Structure 1
Amino acid sequence: MPMSVINEIDVDALQDSIDTLRTNPTLARATFAVDGSWQGGYRITTRTGALSQGGERDATRVAKFEMTSDEPVAALGTDTAPTPAEYVLHALAGCYTVTITAHAALRGIELKGIRLELEVDLDMRGFLGIDASVRPGLQQIRIGVDLDAPNTTRKQLEELIALVERRSTIRDTLVNPVDVVTTLT
Structure 2
Amino acid sequence: MIQASFKKNPAQAQATFKSVSELKDGLVSSGQLRTFQIKADEPESFGGTDSAPNPVEVLLFSLGACQAGQGKKEEITTKAFANAMGVPLKRVSVELQGHIDLRGFFAVDESIRAGFNKIEGTFTVESPADTETIEKLKAAVDAHCPVKDMLQAVPMEVKLNHIQV
Class of the TM-score when normalised by the shorter of the 2 chains: 0.7 to 0.9
Distance 2:28 2:131 in 1: 43
Identity of counterpart residues, as a percentage? 31
Aligned residue-pair number:
147
Tell me which stretches of 4 or more aligned residues in structure 1 moved more than 3 Å: none
Task: Indicate whether 1:80 and 2:58 are aligned.
Answer: no
Q: 1:91 aligns with which of 35, 43, 62?
A: 62
1:176 Cα offset (Å): 5.1
Relative to structure 1, is the Cα distance of residues 145 and 70 closer, same or farther in structure 2, using a 3 angstrom cutoff?
A: same
Q: 1:107 aligns with which of 75, 85, 92?
A: 85
- Unpaired runs of at least 5, structure 1: 1-14, 49-60, 178-185
TM score, norm. by length of structure 1: 0.76
TM score, norm. by length of structure 2: 0.85
1:129 Cα offset (Å): 1.2
State the Cα RMSD in Å: 1.3
Distance 1:115 1:148 in 2: 9
Alignment of 1:1-185 (within 5 A): 15=1, 17-48=2-33, 61=34, 64-97=35-68, 98-150=76-128, 152-175=129-152
Aligned partner of residue 89 in structure 2, secondary structure? coil
Report which of the two structures shows the higher radius of gyration computed on alpha carbons. 1
Q: Render the CA deviation track for 1:150-184: whole Å, top value 9, x for unaligned.
A: 2x11111111111111000000011159xxxxxxx
Aligned partner of residue 39 in structure 2, secondary structure? strand
- Unpaired runs of at least 5, structure 2: 69-75, 155-165
Distance 1:148 1:154 in 2: 10
What is the identity, as a one-letter code, of the residue corresponding to 1:65? F
1:143 Cα offset (Å): 2.5
